[in-house]
Amino acid sequence: MGIVAGLDSAPDFTRIVVCDSDTGAVLRQGYAPHPLESPEGGRPCDVDPQAWLLSLGEAAGGGLLEGVQAIGVSAQANAVVPLDAQGSTVRPAMVGADKRTQVAAADLVDALGGREAWAQAVGCVPQAPQPVTKLRWLARTEPDNARRTAALLQAHDWLVWQLLGRPARRTTDRGGASGTGYWSAATGAYRPDLVELALGHQAVLPEVIGPADAAGTTPEGLLISAGTGDTQAAAFGLGIGLGDAVVSLGASGSVMAVHPEALVDQHGMITSLADATGMHLPVVTTLNAVRTLRGTAELLGVPDLEGLSELAMKSTPGAHGLVLLPYLEGERTPQLPHTAGTLTGLRRESMRPEHLARAAFEGMLCGLADALDVLRGRGVAVRRIFLLGAAAELPAVQAAAPSLFGAQVVVVQPADYAALGAARQAAWALGVSQGALDPRTPPVWQGPVAQVLEPGEELAVGQAVRRQFVSVREQTHPGAFG
């Protein structure tokens, strides 16, 4: 069919991949940091969206997009761009996990009648990063700006709109809409009343178009696909389908899986997102993943995670009886926001650095296995697990993960899967527009380069370690999972 491009506007940079639309082979790449100044080295919570356009232009320099027929856009989730009646930004975009909005999240939960009411309404309970929560903060803290806000876009919506020359029609996709807190993946409809609850009045919301639909065509004839959030784009770029889950190892952790229907969780542990294909992408998050490893390394005086992994490999499964409940920042799965971590099983023979190192890896992975079990308990099939993040390369993670998760683990080669997913979406929209692809079936691209790990003979041992962790968790926090 031709050549397509996918751009991923991350919090700190823009990356562009140019791909063969039939195979997904990467032909060219571009990169540019956002021209942002972070106060005291921290990531800003307020960003001028023009910075995204400037880095996009720089990343696309040198003829990178020559011959490209369609572009897909992925961008950071949870970024809100408030517009006035003329389409100008009312204030800088509100991005990221903004701690300023934590009180606003609690206010919204109470205002609608509790966590279950939100789960039933839109499939998620307000959290500090979500757009609906940021609107509540805006109304309470900057009432003049809230009153001027006439329309709302997310980051990928705004970029698509700019690429198309700011037309009267503004669009989004199911994936991006499902993370706002005012669109339901179960019903496929907005809840304008929740916008009013948060912002104090109604606002114009972008039209939700289908996964294979085009948002429009630029004056130069370049097709722009629907775009989506970075989570959905990464899942699409990986090529995951039914039976697949993705476990992401960041400071915090997340588990997501493809499912044919939206899941409503009255406890609010599942965030019911839509994916970029017409399916659903339930997500469960933990507050403690790699931060558990870093804290343990600091405690033991180990300089880096590679050293901690090497130390852990000197121990054995079960860490000589040590069990670490890794709730260092409190925890969201299970809902223990005010708790702390717990170390049990201390005996003279277990009080060695290598056993504590092993317990940290096992505790982190068992916490993520708890999150997997939340999805499994709702009927989500998990036969293969993609493990993402730099920590996935650590030998101690790879040695323990398959048997603790009880499934095949796939460790993919690092790549910008969000940009690849955006490019694959562009190829889909282009193929549909040419009559070459079915709008119900995305193009089949070559899968990622990966290492496949099987539980094998270690499965029984791993499951025994897992049961030990669950036993300690139940004794320490009885009924934490209801």
Structure confidence at residue 1 (pLDDT): 65
Stretches where the chain sits below pLDDT 50 are 38-43
Structure confidence at residue 95 (pLDDT): 92
Residues 363 and 295 sit within 8 Å (Cβ to Cβ): no
pLDDT digits (tens, 9 = 90+) for 38-63: 444 444 589 999 999 999 999 999 99
Structure confidence at residue 99 (pLDDT): 76
Structure confidence at residue 44 (pLDDT): 56
Mean residue pLDDT of the chain comes to: 95
Structure confidence at residue 146 (pLDDT): 98
Q: Cα angle at 148 between 146 and 151, to 5 degrees?
A: 90
Structure confidence at residue 39 (pLDDT): 44
Whole-model pTM?
0.94
Structure confidence at residue 97 (pLDDT): 72
User: Mapped to the 3 state alphabet, what secondary structure does the chain carry?
Assistant: CCEEEEEEECCCEEEEEEEECCCCCEEEEEEEECCCCCHHHCCCCEECCHHHHHHHHHHCCCCCCCCEEEEEEEECCCCEEEECCCCCECCCEECCCCHHHHHHHHHHHHHHCCHHHHHHHHCCCCCCCCHHHHHHHHHHHCHHHHHHCCEEEEHHHHHHHHHCCCCCCCEEEHHHHCCCCCEECCCCEECHHHHHHHHCCCCECCEEECCCCEEEECCCCCEEECCEEHHHHHHHHHCCCEEEEEEEECCCEEEEEEECCCCCCCCCCEEEEECCCCCEEEEEEECCCHHHHHHHHHHHCCCCHHHHHHHHCCCCCCHHHCEEECCECEECCCCECCCCCEEECCCHHHCCHHHHHHHHHHHHHHHHHHHHHHHHCCCCCEEEEEEECHHHHCHHHHHHHHHHHCCEEEEECCCCHHHHHHHHHHHHHHHHHCCCCCCCCCCCCCCCCEEEECCHHHHHHHHHHHHHHHHHHHHHCCCCCC
Q: Tell me the residue length of the chain.
A: 482
Q: How many CB atoms within 10 Å of residue 150? A: 17
Structure confidence at residue 40 (pLDDT): 45
Structure confidence at residue 268 (pLDDT): 84
Structure confidence at residue 107 (pLDDT): 96
The C-alpha atoms of residue 82 and residue 90 are separated, in whole angstroms, by 6
Residues marked as catalytic:
230
Q: How many CB atoms within 10 Å of residue 112? A: 20
pLDDT digits (tens, 9 = 90+) for 236-262: 999 999 999 999 999 999 999 999 999
